[in-house]
Chain A
Amino acid sequence: MAKRIKKLLYRHMAWKFILLLAVLSVAVLISAGMGYLKISFYDVVNIIVTSITGNTEQMKDMEDVFSVVVMDVRLPRILCAVIVGAGLAVSGCVYQGILLNPLADPYTLGISAGAAFGASLAFLFFPEAGLYAIPCFAFSGAVVTLFVVVWLSSGKTFSRDGLSSNSLILSGIIVASILSAGISFLKYIADEEVSVIIFWLMGSFASKTWTDVWILLMVVSTGSLIIYFYSRDLNVIALGSRMASTLGINTGRVTMILLITSSLVAAVCVAVSGIIGFVGLLVPHMMRSMTGPDNTRLIPVSLLAGGILMVTADTITRAVLPVEVPIGVLTALIGGPFFCYVFRRNHLRNRGKQV
């Protein structure tokens, strides 16, 4: 029975994609109406349509402040959440595929620790430069970490052919723990600045602008297209690098392209929004039970699901909860236990089969 349902889901990929896209659009519109100022669904749609068409005829009976709230305050924040969620989920798919480990995510390789370290440096040494210095430092931190991790794991003594997933994970863990010690040290010497660092580390979409949206959109959409182009190769890599070689894939090159692309996507997401855990881990994991492990289906579906999840989580912290909880804390508090549940259930199920 379960198998039959799975088969049905496999066959209706296009519909599933359209359904998720619809859910995402509705979620964005509903979220834009929620908050301190309640705005009806109809008015939200009206405001967005008029600001795209430039036709102000229909806006006559509405207050100006509504338009400002939706277009300049809420939408940039909401869209940032959607794009960051999508980006983290897609890069999670790639990390899991390359590291041959369904439990890997953008954080396994120390990318987030690198970004966090970079941002902490910026807070400490360039507090005046503020808005621009932090994303730049976070991004550079992430990229430098990526190259250090790749360099560590591709050394001759580590593996004979390209990057082995074990040495990548090991190098990631080593580098991440050095960096987190570094962050602790920076916090220790930061004095008054320490609270700013702590808040940034917990992640937030508050006061994001259209500039953030465009930067994110450009990087995440380009990255996702590159990743989707190689999605079938990612399937074959699951068979191991030798077997993938004989199926026409240059494993070393494809791994490198995918690794760099997904790390750049993750780095930009982290640079804009701070550290938001569990989305990259959880979304591909959940979606795999809907689509199967085939990355040509998993990646597009995870992209949309990541967006939906993030905008929902952000709306909860912004408009539902009485006090705004940092979104990184929220995703970890909800995502963590949920992941434990999924992990334990699968574990028990597999064990039952072996007996």
Chain B
Amino acid sequence: MIYAIDDISYAYDSINILERISIQLEKGFFYGILGPNGCGKTTFLDLLIRHKKPNSGHITFSGTDLSKISRKQLARKIALVSQNFYINFPYTAREVVIMGRYPYISRFSSPSSEDLDRVDSIMEKTGVDLLSDNFITELSGGERQRVVFARALVQDTDVIILDEATSNLDIRHTIDLLDIVRNRVDQKKLTVISVFQNINLAARYCDRLIFLRNGNIIAQGKTEEMVNKCLIQKVFDVESEIRFESLYNSSQVIFKRGASETL
């Protein structure tokens, strides 16, 4: 078990964002987190990466209390790809990817040739090798997102957290990125925890789905059990049909008109 989350709550300005959440996340699975806007998905990720501290409850990471692990240690275990990422300074794409090796390089030394080999091979795999010398400030949103994804892979962690990482990628790059993630889960037993907006992408790629609503976990379990009309109605307030797509070997959701329109 990689994460044991025991009864955590998080409130901000006395507004409860997450209420008494308990869940256990296993190593080597691809978890998808789904829920309507403002349900606390991003805050949940912030607690997992220790960017925020829960007001109550405990998070145990690989058997150790998360708050007792040093930040530098944690940087070698957990990587984050967030959405809408923007840099104001003209670093080259390669320089940004190299930052992913910082947790392994001491403060005043420069990256070793192994570090750089790793950077270059991952940039090639993720298809950003051609952008290597381009300034990050001059890349398109999608290109920038792929550079940041390469940076997270270079970090060489057991856990990757994706916060709507594909939200500004076109369909081809979305599939490429999720294919790479899926492969790493299957081959290297990586654990991936990802927030999705698109339930069909989540249904196709994830092993487990977690539904959040109003700061609570409404349901969680195997993807094939989670994708059903009743649950989708309950979480998103939208009527739907479920069809099995043999090409993906997974269920896909077809949305009918939203509940608000049928009124």
Contacts and interface: CB of A to CB of B under 8 A. Distances in A.
A161 B74 contact: no
A296 to B, nearest CB: 8
Given A248-B71, A248-B75, A294 B51 contact: no
B244 interface: no
A102 B161 CA distance: 30
B90 A242 contact: no
Interface string B171-193: 00000000000000000000000
A272 B38 CA distance: 52
Interface in A237-284: 238-243, 245-250
Interface string B88-122: 11111001100110110001000000000000000
Interface in B182-232: none
A347 interface: no
Contacts of A160: 12, 52
Interface residues on B, range: 35 or more
Nearest to A96: B89
A241 B91 CA distance: 17
Interface residues of A, number: 31
B253 interface: no
A115 interface: no
B85 A245 contact: no
A239 B51 contact: no
B261 interface: no
A229 interface: yes
B88 A102 contact: yes
Given A246-B78, A247-B100, A248-B74, A238 B87 contact: yes
A338 B80 CA distance: 41
A247 B95 contact: no
Given A245-B51, A248-B75, A293 B100 contact: no
Given A232-B107, A247-B75, A247-B100, A292 B88 contact: no
Contacts, number: 83
B50 interface: yes
B13 interface: yes
B95 A250 contact: no
Given A236-B99, A243-B80, A353 B85 contact: no
B12 A100 contact: no
Given A241-B51, A353-B138, A247 B88 contact: no
A238 B89 contact: yes
B166 interface: no
B72 interface: yes
Given A243-B82, A243-B85, A248 B99 contact: no
Contacts of A229: 107
B49 A245 contact: yes
B165 interface: no
A245 B88 contact: no
Contacts of A101: 88
A157 to B, nearest CB: 8
Interface in A1-40: 3, 7
Interface string A208-246: 000000000000000000000100100110111111011
Nearest to B89: A293
Interface string B61-89: 00000000001101110111010011111
B103 A247 contact: yes
B133 interface: yes
Contacts of A157: 13
A269 B59 CA distance: 47
Contact of A293 (B74, B86, B90): B90
B19 interface: no
Contacts of B107: 229, 232
A350 B137 CA distance: 10
A138 B201 CA distance: 60
B89 A239 contact: no
B7 interface: no
A350 B92 CA distance: 16
A242 B50 contact: no
A60 interface: no
Nearest to B42: A242
Contacts of B89: 100, 102, 238, 288, 293
B51 A161 contact: yes
A281 to B, nearest CB: 15
17 contacts: A100-B88, A100-B89, A156-B13, A236-B102, A238-B89, A239-B148, A240-B86, A242-B80, A242-B82, A246-B51, A246-B75, A247-B103, A247-B155, A248-B72, A288-B89, A294-B95, A350-B138
Given A235-B99, A243-B82, A247-B155, 7 more contacts: A7-B133, A236-B99, A239-B148, A240-B82, A242-B46, A242-B80, A248-B76
Interface of B: 12-13, 46, 49-52, 71-72, 74-76, 78-80, 82, 85-92, 95-96, 99-100, 102-103, 107, 133, 138, 148, 155, 161
Interface of A: 3, 7, 100-102, 156-157, 160-161, 229, 232, 235-236, 238-243, 245-250, 288, 292-294, 350, 353
